[in-house]
Each structure stands twice: as structure tokens, then as C-alpha cells.
Amino acid sequence: GNADYRDSGLDFPADFLFGSATASYQIEGAATEDGRGPSIWDTFSHTPGKVWNGDTGDVADDHYHRFDEDLDLMKSLGLEAYRFSIAWPRIQPTGRGEANEAGLAFYERLVDGLISRGIRPIATLYHWDLPQALEDEGGWTNRATAYAFADYARIVGERLGDRIEVWTTLNEPWCSAYLGYGSGAHAPGIMDGASALAAVHHLNLAHGLAITALQEVVTNDPGFSITLNLHVIRPVGESGAEAARRIDGLANRVFLGPLLHGEYPADVIEDTKDVTDWAFVHEGDTAIIKQPISVLGVNYYSTVTVQMWDGVSERVNADGHKDMGGSPWPGSRDVEFLAQDGPYTEMGWNIDPSGLEELLVSLHDEFPDLPLMVTENGAAFDDVLTQEADGPAVHDIDRTDYLRRHFTAAHRAMQRGVDLRGYQVWSLLDNFEWGYGYSKRFGIVRVDFDTLERLPKDSAKWYSELIRTRSLPETPAAY
């Protein structure tokens, strides 16, 4: 289902927000400056063997010092929105107590720089950089972290709550919980199913408490949201439906349930009863979690394909993450993740824009009154820097093609009735790609990690044209 997602000439509505996204630890650098405390990603990336090549976010794109230049770049590309995240340890170095003025001032300069250039700020409060001091007390397995998060949200809301367009509480709590505490592939690197599920709940709780805190302090009329990386699941064979139910429960419904329906799915609690008794869910918690949100953020990259292990045959890629030590799917050792049809990006993720159309349409069917925003979509490819007569260039036709196919898919979803408000391309800049360090490039703008120079790739020029004309431009065929 790929060849048919190559349309050009499709129009997007005048109020559709075209933008691009980044995250604090992935771009800022300046890890010890102006009072910033250490986060779990500083600890993790400085632990030998955790990140490719020993890479860290110490310098990253040095955006902390170059944000003005980056704002000019956004403006020159014509971005209408910019989705960034705020580093909690810049605001509260130990995750609690007094606000660090220098940290607040940095984000204030960034936001004012956006607004003065006519770019709408979409602020995420948590994109994985938990203050290390809170991790030392159990991190997301500790209920108190959810309450600390609400205090942090209030501090930021008090300062910036008159000028943010959309507030997002958490980015991809699936990753924070299951990769952070289950598989151990992300910070803090814990491998324990019960901890992962406790983290799921405390992240959900943190979201609800933070929305409540923000609503009390903001003075404009912003949107409130959370961003999820919902899984599009393709079942295979007779056992596929059961496997899909299990993975849908752990990946999707364990978040959507409490957030939007006000309860945890009973089948997920049953599926995981050998892992945890769910005693971390207290009376009244689901009511705290189910706060009204005005838009749901959707991050989409690829799909997964599953079946159940029959108990006899040799196991195929159980857990889908053999290389990681722990499992990101608590209680699901009997679910097998199958290889998927290509093409693939440099991450090894399959390219399937129909998954995005499907995901948006199914969310709209389940929650017809909830507007959606694509808060991340993009691709890592092996970029080649070439020297042309008029200077260096990156002809990243594969990334451009990926983006065009996915914008086409989003457009189709809109034609099918989905209320899609905007699209934030991941990512503005090549950056620190978590466990892969600087080995994977997602940017529409190249960053030279020695000189830190920025160079818009062809995909950035293509995207500028889309934003300028609000109509999908032609792209030469890549495959």
C-alpha cells in the first residue's frame, strides 16, 4: 500500500498549522550551563555501552547558544508552528523547589523569538529528560513524580501561560515507560515489566495533574494536549487478532482508556496480572487523568505486524526487540513481532503511509469531537552531502518522498472527515537520536556535528514550497 500515496496538487486548509518539531535534550547541548541540573539522559548517555559510539547530548546542536540563528532558519523556511520541548532540569535542577530563573528566561526568549517571527509555539513539558534527582527516588515508578510534574507545569505555566498556542504535557509516554523501565533501551535503563506498568500509570496521572495545574494559571486560551505514539498493528494468521488485541491494549488503550474514557481496559489488567497487581492505581486516579483536552497529538513513523507464538515452532523475534535485554511488552513473551514489507528507512522501520491514514481515521471514529494534530512524522536516511556549483547540498529525495506520501495520507484522512489541525515534521534539525546517538539523521536541515553549521536539505526546500502554496508539490520518484 505505498505506490498510491504519491499525489501532488492536493490543497490544505488555510488554518492548517505546518511546522516542525524538536526536543530539548536532542538539540540544546549546554548541559551544565545556567544552573541546569542533570537529567536521566545525561546519566544514561554517560554510561558506557548505552548509546551508540558513546555519544551524549552535552553539545548536540548547540541550539541553546544558537537559537536565534535557528529561529531565523525557521522563519526563512516559512514554518507556521514550532514544536519544542522544555527541559525540566533547566527549570528545576533537582525536579523540585524554586524555579531557576535562567532556565525560564531561556524559554521565554525562545517563545518571544517565535512570536515576533509569526511562528506559533507548541510547547511540550516532558520529552524524556527527567531530573536525575527524581529518578534517584524511583522516577516514574514513584507516584510522587506525578505530583512534582504538576508543580513544574505550574511554574512554567505561570511564566509562559499568556503566549503558548498549544501545551502538550508528555511526549510518547509509551517510550518513557516501556523503553525506560521495561526494555531498558532508554534512560533510566531499567528492565522490569512491573516498573514499566507503574510508570505508565504515573505518567497518565502526571498528565492529568499537569492539565489541571496549567488550566489554573494560563491567561490566554491555549490548546491542551498530550502526544502519543499509538501503534498501528497488522495481525497475521489465525492468532493475529489475539496478538493485536494484546499489543493494542499495552500500546494504545492503556493510555487512551484513562485519558479519554476515564478507565483502564480490563483486558490489559487481566493480561498483565502475573506481572503486577496494579495496586498503584488509587481510588479517584482515573478521574484525575481524564481531563478535557482540545487536541490529541499523534506521532507516526511505521507499523508493527504480530501473531501469537504457537508454543511449538521456533520463536520469531519475540518481543520485537531482541537486542534490548528487557522487554518493552510486559507479560507478552508469547506475542511474536514479524518482519514487515519494505521499503524501510535507515532505522529499519517500514514505510507505510496507509498506516497514518488508518490511525487518524480510527481515532476520529472513536473520538469524533477530538481534533487531531500530527506532532511528529519523518524519516532517517543515509544523507549524502554533495558539492554543487552554488555550494553544498543534500539531495534527500528519499526523505522528501517519505514526507510527501505521509502528507498525502493525512490529506486523505481529512477528506474522510478527520479534523486534523496541523502537521509537525520530525525533525527540524539532525540531532541526538537517543540510543543511536548522532548516527541517524532525521532533520530536514543538515547539521555538521563538527562545525555545527546548518544546511537546509532538499526536503526542507520541498516543505517550504508546500507551506507557501498549501498544496503538495511534485516530487521526482525515489524508488
Catalytic residues, which ones? 172, 376
Of 99 and 247, nearer to ligand GBH (C-beta) is 247
Of 285 and 401, nearer to ligand GBH (C-beta) is 401
Supply φ then ψ for residue 37, to 5 degrees.
-85, 165
Q: Which residues pair with 337 in a beta bridge?
A: 306
- Answer yes or no: are the C-beta atoms of 411 and 459 closer than 8 Å: no
Say whether 237 sits in a helix, a strand or coil: coil
Of 150 and 379, nearer to ligand GBH (C-beta) is 379
- Which amino acid, 395? H
Q: How far is the CB of 417 from ligand GBH (least distance, A)?
A: 27
Say whether 289 sits in a helix, a strand or coil: helix
C-alpha cell at 102: 535562567
**Cα–chain center distance at 64:** 20
Of 168 and 286, nearer to ligand GBH (C-beta) is 168
Q: How far is the CB of 64 from ligand GBH (least distance, A)?
A: 17
Spatial CA neighbour of 247 closest among 261, 259, 229, 226: 229
Q: Which residue is nearest to ligand GBH (CB)?
A: 301
Q: Which stretches of the chain bind ligand GBH, using CB under 6 A?
A: 23, 26, 171-172, 175, 229, 299, 301-302, 304, 320, 349, 376, 426, 433, 442
**Cα–chain center distance at 371:** 18
Q: How far is the CB of 86 from ligand GBH (least distance, A)?
A: 14
Of 132 and 303, nearer to ligand GBH (C-beta) is 303
- Answer yes or no: are the C-beta atoms of 84 and 121 closer than 8 Å: yes
Q: How far is the CB of 171 from ligand GBH (least distance, A)?
A: 5
- Answer yes or no: are the C-beta atoms of 31 and 63 closer than 8 Å: no
The kind and range of the H/E element at 77 are helix 63-77
Of 21 and 281, nearer to ligand GBH (C-beta) is 21
DSSP state of 100: -
Q: How far is the CB of 459 from ligand GBH (least distance, A)?
A: 15
- Answer yes or no: are the C-beta atoms of 366 and 423 closer than 8 Å: no
Largest CA distance in the chain: 67
Of 285 and 376, nearer to ligand GBH (C-beta) is 376
Dist CA 234 CA 306 (whole Å): 6
Dist CA 269 CA 383 (whole Å): 44
Dist CA 192 CA 199 (whole Å): 11
- Which amino acid, 226? I
